[in-house]
Amino acid sequence: MNKETVEWIQSIDKISNSHVEEAKRYIDGLTKPIGSLGLLEDIAARLSGMKKQRFPKISPPGVLVFASDHGVVEEGVSAFPKEVTAQMVYNFLNGGAAINVFARQIGAHFSIIDVGVASDMEHEQLVSRKVDYGTRNFVQEDAMTEEQARQAILVGMEATQAIIDQGAKALILGEMGIGNTTAASAIVSVVTGCSVEQAVGTGTGISQDAKVHKQKVILKAIRERQPNLEDGLDIVKKVGGFEIAAIAGAILKAAERRIPIIIDGFICTSAALIACLLQPNAKEYMFASHLSQEPGHEAALQFLQLKPLLDLKLRLGEGTGAALAYPIIEAAARMLSEMATFESAGVSKG
């Protein structure tokens, strides 16, 4: 990254504790027993601290789906052929995927970004920011060059800026990339220190034998690539993916703009680890949406000290878990701005 970008990342601020405390006091005066809305009260106070507003608005949200291919697929780590990445991008563009359905339900702005699909794609609605035709096979060589990693991070930043300019007041991040649970498992294992066995699951649905093979592939990659566990850029370059780097960039831009970020499942959380290595303050703008069926997700969330809002046994990605959790966060914001106080409603206190 150039000096300007590095300085910009360093400038990302924590949330405002004085706004958090003020919101908590205000919430205690709303017409309900103190604390009775549980986690919604914490969410609302944090939103207030992020936006530095008494009545933060988070609607409409914006959904960004970053798509990319992975060279490591040639090691036979996925249940689906590589072509599915591009096929699913067309499905997103035609509105038929799960994330389209859930994004429509919550009235979200929606954008799909090609940051590294392995084939040429054309569609009016597609944001084409291809860094390369997929990453390299990171068992053999680095997944990407340092310049490509920077470029992918910038793609994420720009897409976030664009959707905020369209009016998005909260950010839902998703991804599509056959093979990307392999990259995410490598990142989670490197950053959190959990074993590769703990970090690896069945992805889109591989067999137990294939899972053991996937673990061996990741172990070999980490041994060969030797990523620096404190350097987010080095990790994403060596064992990451373009969509993971882009999501890390999107998180940093949202944090800088004081926009709440709803983290989806395993892949997205691996990108959150990268973002937090680059700027720990970014964590304060994150909500963890759900606990994925991928076993490494729990270790990643614990590392970030985030607790998931939902546990619906999901393992799809695309941003679906984050879109499903969004209404809870919106409800918290509405609680702040729309509920009556004991005083305004003339209700006796306990």
| Catalytic site positions | 318
- Residue 10's contacts (CB-CB under 8 Å, 6 or more residues apart) are 279
Closest CA to 58 of 257, 283, 340, 317: 257
Q: Classify residue 310 by its DSSP letter.
A: B
List the 286-288 sheet strands across, edge first. 126-128, 109-116, 62-68, 171-176, 261-263, 286-288
209 lies in the binding site for a second copy (CB under 8 A) = no
119 lies in the binding site for a second copy (CB under 8 A) = no
166 versus 207: smaller Cβ distance to a second copy: 207
CB of 2 to a second copy, least distance (A): 40
What residues numbered 288-307 form the site for a second copy, per CB under 8 A? 293
- Contact stretch for a second copy (CB under 8 A) within 164-172, 222-230, 231-239, 313-321: 313-321
167 lies in the binding site for a second copy (CB under 8 A) = no
Backbone angles phi, psi at 177, to 5 degrees: -175, 105
Backbone angles phi, psi at 346, to 5 degrees: 65, 40
6 versus 347: smaller Cβ distance to a second copy: 347
80 lies in the binding site for a second copy (CB under 8 A) = yes
Q: How far apart are CA 12 and CA 26, in angstroms?
A: 27
- Contact stretch for a second copy (CB under 8 A) within 11-19, 46-54, 100-108, 184-192: 100-108
Closest CA to 319 of 272, 257, 248, 263: 263
What residues numbered 319-338 form the site for a second copy, per CB under 8 A? 320, 324, 327-328, 330-331, 334-335, 338
83 lies in the binding site for a second copy (CB under 8 A) = yes
125 lies in the binding site for a second copy (CB under 8 A) = no
CB of 122 to a second copy, least distance (A): 16
Contacts with a second copy, residue ranges (CB under 8 A): 30-40, 78-81, 83-84, 87-88, 90-91, 94, 96-98, 100-102, 104-106, 204-205, 293, 309-316, 320, 324, 327-328, 330-331, 334-335, 338-340, 344-350
